[in-house]
Amino acid sequence: MEQPLQPKAVIVIFGATGDLAKRKLFPSIYRLYQHGKISKNFAVIGLARREWTDEVLRENVVESIEEAVSPDENLDEFVSHFYYHPFDVTEDSSYQGLKHLIKNLEGEYDTDGNRIFYLAMAPNFFGTIANKLKAYELEKSDGWSRLVIEKPFGHNLESAKGLNNQIRSAFKEDQIYRIDHYLGKQMVQNIEVIRFANGIFEHLWNNRFISNIQITSSEVLGVEERARYYDHSGATRDMVQNHILQMVALLLMEPPIKLTTDEIRSEKIKVLRALRPLDKNEISKSFVRGQYDAGEINGEAVPSYREEDEELTESNTETFVAGKLLIDNYRWAGVPIYIRTGKRMTEKSTKIVIEFKDIPMNLYYKKDNDRNPNLLSINIQPNEGITLGLNARKSSEGSLAEPIQLAYNLNESSGINTPEAYERLLYDCMIGDATNFTHWDEVALSWKFVDTVLDAWSKEKADFPNYKSGSMGPKEADELLAKDGFHWWEV
């Protein structure tokens, strides 16, 4: 097997006492270490306001790793690379101290001056941090330095632009890695491969053969402890602006001329540019919002969104969104792309279904309305794989066709693949591969599209709650497809 590159770096995590660091980053760095994808020449500096010590950070890192993965005996050696530095993002002395610590660790671990600044914290400080890093020349070193940022990247196009300008005054676009963890998922990365490495699909991948595409990302969990963030965001900002539109771009883009970051990004950007703008006065024709009511999931009663937290009692925030998108280009004109995502739905699952047009006359159907169109399903999670629905004669009796499925299951037991996604993305960042990170143009175009929906919704109070926990969303989401003669496929 080819030996992976083993990058060297000092990784600086802003927000090291937070949930993201604990649940995703520490386990991911450990897995890179376990898998030999990071050299022994690395150090991690955890920054946050709390007065922790190196020891306290290390104990937390051990705890988070033991919760997330099965560690080897080398855990003690691994955590000895972690250092804590109490930090106030607005205080100059904090940056001076950080500079000193980085320099020391670069000497001790011989990291070639490579630096990652990972902002795993509230976005209101992103601009301040970027500017101070520049002021103290922390982004300047003998190696490379990169900035990794988490969503939310702004609240709408305007605020995203402001944030981007602040960050860009300190870092160049090619130093900025905007994380969308869906782009690290195995089957999301596979969309391109399935499309462009197989003769049989690409010829059919257009409006002559595909009748519609459906993307569903459903969750069972509710708002959990994130009421403050989530209520300000809602499902559209939380899932559609980023994860779902990224999947749309990958599904509909033209084949890139090369597998380079720039070529792939430029094809994705073209798809987002071709999204048909929505008419703000007719949003309800193509978008549906929902908020969960109480209900039952897996036999357990769960409260409504408004009952989850005191702050939510009168909330008008959507926890579900479904929409119909149209792409105005030669390949896709006329093919509706239906999307839906929400909290407290029937199951945790992300899936893409491509429905092919029927043949002109199918003599093998039982009744006229008994259609079994061919469906290609790309299963992102929890099962990872693809299935292709065909018609075939199953028994020796009768001459009618019945649906059958060809299935490829990559990994049935992988569960939710978020930790692996972070591991892949962190590694890509360290080797300088920005393909699976979002370019500013993608972020801007996605905001532009969803802003129209959100602006229209903000002007009218919704009739919430309107779907039961444990269901697949409000009935209007089904009507959205029914009026075009389709329905959601639960394959």
Question: Which residues of this protein are in contact with ligand BG6, per CB under 6 A?
Answer: 181, 219, 238, 350, 416, 418
Residues 83, 43 contacting (CB under 8 angstroms): yes
292 contacts: CB under 8 Å, gap ≥ 6: 222, 304, 305, 319, 320, 342, 343, 344, 465, 467, 468, 469
Rounded alpha-carbon distances, angstroms, from residue 475 to 145, 290, 346, 454, 481: 49, 10, 14, 20, 11
Provide, rounded to whole angstroms, the least separation between the CB of residue 344 and ligand BG6. 11
Residues 322, 339 contacting (CB under 8 angstroms): yes
Is the link from the previous residue into 465 a cis peptide, with omega within 30 of 0? yes
- The two tokens of residue 23 are 């649940």
Provide, rounded to whole angstroms, the least separation between the CB of residue 19 and ligand BG6. 11
Provide, rounded to whole angstroms, the least separation between the CB of residue 239 and ligand BG6. 6
Rounded alpha-carbon distances, angstroms, from residue 448 to 203, 239, 288, 451: 31, 15, 18, 5
Phi, psi dihedral angles at 178 (to 5 degrees): -90, 115
Residue 185 labelled as part of a binding site = yes
Residues 434, 184 contacting (CB under 8 angstroms): no
Residue 238 labelled as part of a binding site = yes
Q: Nearest residue to ligand BG6, using CB?
A: 418
Residue 22 labelled as part of a binding site = yes
Q: Residue with structure tokens 């981007």?
A: 164
Provide, rounded to whole angstroms, the least separation between the CB of residue 238 and ligand BG6. 5
Provide, rounded to whole angstroms, the least separation between the CB of residue 331 and ligand BG6. 28
State yes or no: is 35 an active-site residue: no
Phi, psi dihedral angles at 401 (to 5 degrees): -95, 150
Task: Give the closest residue to 183 by CA, choosing from 249, 126, 234, 127.
Answer: 249
Q: Among 100, 243, 439, 487, which one carries the catalytic annotation?
A: 243
3-state secondary structure at position 472 = coil
Residue 180 labelled as part of a binding site = no
Residue 435 labelled as part of a binding site = no
Residue 343 labelled as part of a binding site = yes
26 vs 205, beta carbon nearer ligand BG6: 26
Residue 151 labelled as part of a binding site = yes
The C-alpha atoms of residue 408 and residue 193 are separated, in whole angstroms, by 14
Determine if residue 300 is left, alpha or beta; phi over 0 gives left, psi from -120 to 50 gives alpha, anything else beta.
Answer: beta
23 vs 475, beta carbon nearer ligand BG6: 23
- The two tokens of residue 86 are 């109490």
235 vs 335, beta carbon nearer ligand BG6: 235
Residue 20 labelled as part of a binding site = yes
224 vs 463, beta carbon nearer ligand BG6: 224
DSSP string, 338-374: EEEEESSBSS-EEEEEEEEPPPS--TT-SSTT-----
**Distance between terminal CA atoms of the chain?**
36
179 vs 213, beta carbon nearer ligand BG6: 179
Provide, rounded to whole angstroms, the least separation between the CB of residue 416 and ligand BG6. 5
Residue 367 labelled as part of a binding site = no
Task: Give the closest residue to 27 by CA, choosing from 389, 306, 327, 421.
Answer: 421
Provide, rounded to whole angstroms, the least separation between the CB of residue 219 and ligand BG6. 5
234 vs 373, beta carbon nearer ligand BG6: 234
The C-alpha atoms of residue 8 and residue 115 are separated, in whole angstroms, by 9
180 vs 267, beta carbon nearer ligand BG6: 180
Name beta bridge partners: 357.
Answer: none
Q: Which residues are annotated as a binding site?
A: 15-22, 49, 88-89, 151, 181, 185, 219, 238, 343, 348
Task: Detail the residues annotated as belonging to a binding site for NADP(+).
Answer: 15-22, 49, 88-89, 151
**Residues recognised as catalytic:** 243
Binding residues for substrate: 181, 185, 219, 238, 343, 348
